[in-house]
Amino acid sequence: MLTNNRYLLGLSWLVAIFLIPFPFVQTLSAGLPPIYNGTKTMILFGTIAYSWMLLAMYISTRPKWSDRLIGLPNAYMIHGIVSLAVIVLAYLHKSNLHSSGLIKLTGDWAIYLFIGLALYSMIFMAGWLTSRVPFLMWIKRSLEHVFKHEVSVILHRLNVVATGLVFIHVLLIPYIRQIVPFTILFVGASLFVFGSYAFTFIHKQIISATLIDNQEVKPNVRQLTLRLKKHLAIYPGDFVFISFPEVRFMKEPHPFSIVNAPSDKNELVLAIRGDGDFTQSLARIPNDAKVVINGGFGMYQSVINENHPNPSVDYCRGTRDRTIIVNC
């Protein structure tokens, strides 16, 4: 499974980097008037950047098929890296092309939003970076009482606004609108991604639950028992996103692994260490509080299925006078 996972992850990177931008580049390049040949590379840079914006936005909806294919952490890694690449290409696009009026205004607002949100995210949302840069960790700890995770998530969603500004920016350019195949692809792909993003808020893909037990099982570790309103498709070893819609600053979902085997009782047990503002606030959540759950996510069951384990494992342990056969 590990070999297969590396293959799928590598294939996903190839699709993200080359296959997704290809139709955008091809249709735009084929229809671009010859007068723009001198700036063609920078125009295509902007096109590639937009295709990656759509990809990053789609990944943020947490599609379950991508989680079961390569794992949500790997999908988020693709999301983060292509988002940084977007800023680089968009900056080169802006710096080497000239525009005016509303075309310039929408493009400028978009790139400023992307840069500002990227800097913010690297401090408050990229734990792998702040854990390695002491100065950034100091900034985060100094300000995290103001910029709580829920605030960070809301600010991060301004990337959708920035992507919308780019959408308007492109459609305002007359010679781009005249390239019919590109315009159809551009509008169609944008509507699909924006529709998918909106669907996650309308449908929410969540299950309602009730907190039936909340206890401290050891210092700084709490055990939550949740009773589901209906069946949730979940496997042993999965993780779920939970939130408390009626509690301030706890309305944004956070991921936690389940520690019990899913059963017919429709109960989930979570053991959570208090490392952040959300987890440390769990102590004040009363029993019978409403919980929303999104899941399950994870690849543990896929590893088991792929390796076809034998439920009876034989092994031998030799001693001086006998050999013991153990079945388990």
Where does 207-307 sit in CATH, by number?
A: 2.40.30.10
- Structure letter (DSSP) for residue 311: S
Are 2-202 and 207-307 the same fold in CATH? no
Q: 3-class SS at 71?
A: coil
Which pLDDT belongs to residue 312? 46
pLDDT in tens, 67-106: 878 888 889 889 989 999 999 999 999 999 999 999 999 9
295 φψ region: left (φ > 0), alpha (ψ -120 to 50), beta (else): left
**What's the CA gap between 8 and 123, in Å, rounded?**
30
Residues 6+ apart with CB under 8 A from 310: none
- Structure letter (DSSP) for residue 286: P
| Cβ atoms of residues 54 and 163 within 8 Å | yes
H or E segment and range at residue 193: helix 180-202
Residues written for the chain: 328
Structural domain boundaries in the chain: 2-202, 207-307
Which pLDDT belongs to residue 204? 56
| Tokens of residue 82, six digits | 């292509």
pLDDT along the chain (328 residues), means of 10: 73 94 97 93 96 95 85 88 94 93 95 90 70 75 72 84 96 95 97 92 72 88 88 80 85 86 77 83 89 81 61 42 34
| Tokens of residue 135, six digits | 């100065």
- Pairing, β 314-318 against β 254-257: unpaired
CA distances from 115 to 85, 161, 169, 267, 272 (A): 11, 13, 17, 43, 34
- Structure letter (DSSP) for residue 226: E
Which pLDDT belongs to residue 283? 86
Which pLDDT belongs to residue 304? 62
Which pLDDT belongs to residue 301? 64
Per-position b or e across 274-303, b if 16+ CB within 10 A of its CB: beeebbebbeebeeebebbbbbbbbbeebe
294 phi/psi in degrees, rounded to 5: -125, 120
| Cβ atoms of residues 57 and 160 within 8 Å | yes
> CB 229: neighbour CB atoms within 10 A?
13
Instruction: Among 1.10.150, 1.20.120, 1.10.3470, 1.10.10, name the CATH number for the domain at 2-202.
Output: 1.20.120
**What's the CA gap between 163 and 111, in Å, rounded?**
9
pLDDT in tens, 37-70: 999 999 999 999 999 999 999 998 888 888 878 8
Which pLDDT belongs to residue 299? 75
